[in-house]
Structure 1
Amino acid sequence: MANNKVITADEAIALIRDNDVVTTTGFVQSCIPEALHAALEKRFVETQRPRDLTLIMTAGAGDSKGLGTGRFHHEGLLRRVIAANFGRMPKVAQAAQENKICGYNLPQGVISQLYRACAGGQPGLFSKVGLYTYVDPRFGGGKVNERTKQDMVKLVEVEGEEWLFYTATKIDVAFIRGTSADPSGNISMEREALVLDNLAQAMAAHNNGGLVIAQVERIVEQGSIKAKDVHVPGILVSAVVVADPPEMHRMNYGVIHNPALSGEIRVPVEKLPKMTLDERKVIARRAAFELPPNGVVNLGVGAPEGIAAVANEEKVTPYITLTTEAGAIGGVLASGSSFGAATNADSIIQQNQQFDFYDGGGLDMTCLGMAECDVQGNVNTSKFGGRLNGCGGFINISQNARLVVFAGTFTNGGLKVAIEDGKVHILQEGRNKKFLNFVEQITFSGKFAQKRKQPVYYVTERCVFQLKDKGLELIEVAPGIDIDKDILAHMDFKPIVEHPELMDKRIFIDEPMELINDLLNLNLDQRISYDPARNILFLNLEGWNARTKKDIDEMRNALVAACQRVGKRVNSVVNHDGARIAESLYDDYAEMIEYLSQRYYLTTTRYATSAFARLKMKEALAKRGLQPHVFERREAAETFLEVVGSREEEKAPAPV
Structure 2
Amino acid sequence: MRRMTAQEAALLLRDGDTLLIGGSGGGHAVPDALLAAIGKRFRETGSPRQVTAVHPVGLGDGKTRGAGHLAQDGLLKRVVSGTFVNSPAIARLALDEKIEAYTLPQGSMSQLMREMAAGRPGLMTRIGLHSFVDPRLEGGRQSKRATEDLVELTQFRGEEYLFYKPFKVDVALVRGSAADEDGNISMEHEAVTLEMLSIAQAARRNGGIVIAQVKKVVPRGSLHPKMVKVPGILVDALVIDPDQWQTFETEDSAAYSGHLRVALEDIPRLPAGPRRVVARRGACELFEGAICNLGSGISTGIANVAAEEGVLRRVCLTNEQGNIGGAPASGNEAGAARSPDAQIDQPYQFDFYDGGGLDLAFLSFAEFDAVGNVNVSRFGGRIVGPGGFVNISQGAKAVVFGGTLTANGAPKAVRQVEQVTFSGTFARERGQSVLYVTERAVFRLGDDGPELIEIAPGLDLEADILGVMGFCPSISPALREMEAPIFADGPMGLNARLRSGTVRATLSRFAMPVVAQ
TM-score by length of 1: 0.76
Which residue matches 2:515? none
Distance 1:381 1:411, change over 3 A: same
Which residue matches 1:564? none
Is the Cα contact below 8 Å between 1:18 and 1:52 reproduced in 2? Answer: yes
Q: Is 1:403 aligned to residue 394 of structure 2? A: no
Which residue matches 2:10? 13
What secondary structure, in the 3-state scheme, does the structure 2 residue paired with 1:318 have? coil
Which residue matches 1:478? 456
- Deviation for aligned residue 1:480: 2.5
Q: How does 1:173-572 map to 2 (within 5 A)?
A: 173-243=171-241, 246=243, 249-412=244-407, 430-497=408-475, 498-522=477-501, 544-545=502-503
Which residue matches 1:593? none
Distance 1:583 1:257, change over 3 A: closer
Q: Is 1:37 aligned to residue 35 of structure 2? A: yes
- Structure richer in helix, relative to its length: 1
Distance 1:189 1:295, change over 3 A: same
- Deviation for aligned residue 1:451: 0.7
Residue deviations 1:342-390, cap 9 Å, x none?
Answer: 1110011111111111011111110101001100000000000011110
Is the Cα contact below 8 Å between 2:265 and 2:312 reproduced in 1? Answer: no
1:217 maps to a residue whose letter is K
Distance 1:581 1:75, change over 3 A: closer
Q: 1:23 aligns with which of 20, 24, 42?
A: 20
- Deviation for aligned residue 1:583: 8.8
CA distance in 2, matches of 1:238, 1:315: 49
2:328 maps to a residue whose letter is L
Q: Which has the higher Rg, Structure 1 or Structure 2? A: 1
CA distance in 2, matches of 1:344, 1:295: 18
CA distance in 2, matches of 1:584, 1:394: 20
Residue deviations 1:74-98, cap 9 Å, x none?
Answer: 1111111111101222222222222
- Deviation for aligned residue 1:584: 7.6
Residue deviations 1:151-174, cap 9 Å, x none?
Answer: 111111111111111111121111
Residue deviations 1:83-129, cap 9 Å, x none?
Answer: 11012222222222222211221111111011111100112110000
Bigger Cα displacement from structure 2, 335-344 vs 453-462: 335-344
Q: How does 1:134-153 map to 2 (within 5 A)?
A: 134-153=132-151
CA distance in 2, matches of 1:88, 1:310: 26
CA distance in 2, matches of 1:145, 1:276: 39
Distance 1:94 1:271, change over 3 A: closer
CA distance in 1, matches of 2:497, 2:70: 49
- Deviation for aligned residue 1:286: 0.5
Is the Cα contact below 8 Å between 2:266 and 2:307 reproduced in 1? Answer: no
Which residue matches 1:550? none
What secondary structure, in the 3-state scheme, does the structure 2 residue paired with 1:475 have? strand
Higher relative contact order (CA 8 A, sep 6+): 2
Is the Cα contact below 8 Å between 2:25 and 2:334 reproduced in 1? Answer: yes
CA distance in 1, matches of 2:382, 2:135: 22
Is the Cα contact below 8 Å between 1:205 and 1:211 reproduced in 2? Answer: yes
CA distance in 2, matches of 1:581, 1:274: 26
Distance 1:94 1:272, change over 3 A: closer
Any gaps of 5 or more consecutive residues in structure 2?
Answer: 512-517
- Deviation for aligned residue 1:478: 1.0
Is the Cα contact below 8 Å between 1:292 and 1:364 reproduced in 2? Answer: no
- Deviation for aligned residue 1:445: 0.2
Distance 1:371 1:32, change over 3 A: same
Distance 1:374 1:352, change over 3 A: same
Is the Cα contact below 8 Å between 1:546 and 1:582 reproduced in 2? Answer: no
Any gaps of 5 or more consecutive residues in structure 1?
Answer: 413-429, 523-543, 548-579, 586-656
Aligned residues: 509
CA distance in 2, matches of 1:152, 1:303: 31
Identical-pair percentage: 47
1:211 maps to a residue whose letter is I
Is the Cα contact below 8 Å between 2:397 and 2:509 reproduced in 1? Answer: no
Residue deviations 1:454-487, cap 9 Å, x none?
Answer: 0000001111010011221111111122211111
What secondary structure, in the 3-state scheme, does the structure 2 residue paired with 1:307 have? helix
1:510 maps to a residue whose letter is D
Residue deviations 1:622-650, cap 9 Å, x none?
Answer: xxxxxxxxxxxxxxxxxxxxxxxxxxxxx
CA distance in 2, matches of 1:224, 1:473: 60
Is the Cα contact below 8 Å between 2:53 and 2:78 reproduced in 1? Answer: yes
Could you say what the CA RMSD is over the residues aligned between the two structures, in angstroms?
A: 1.5
CA distance in 1, matches of 2:422, 2:267: 33
2:360 maps to a residue whose letter is M
CA distance in 2, matches of 1:490, 1:159: 46
CA distance in 1, matches of 2:88, 2:491: 40
Is the Cα contact below 8 Å between 1:252 and 1:337 reproduced in 2? Answer: no
Bigger Cα displacement from structure 2, 322-331 vs 511-520: 511-520
Which residue matches 2:72? 74
CA distance in 2, matches of 1:79, 1:130: 25
- Deviation for aligned residue 1:43: 0.7
What secondary structure, in the 3-state scheme, does the structure 2 residue paired with 1:545 have? coil
1:270 maps to a residue whose letter is E
- Deviation for aligned residue 1:546: 6.9
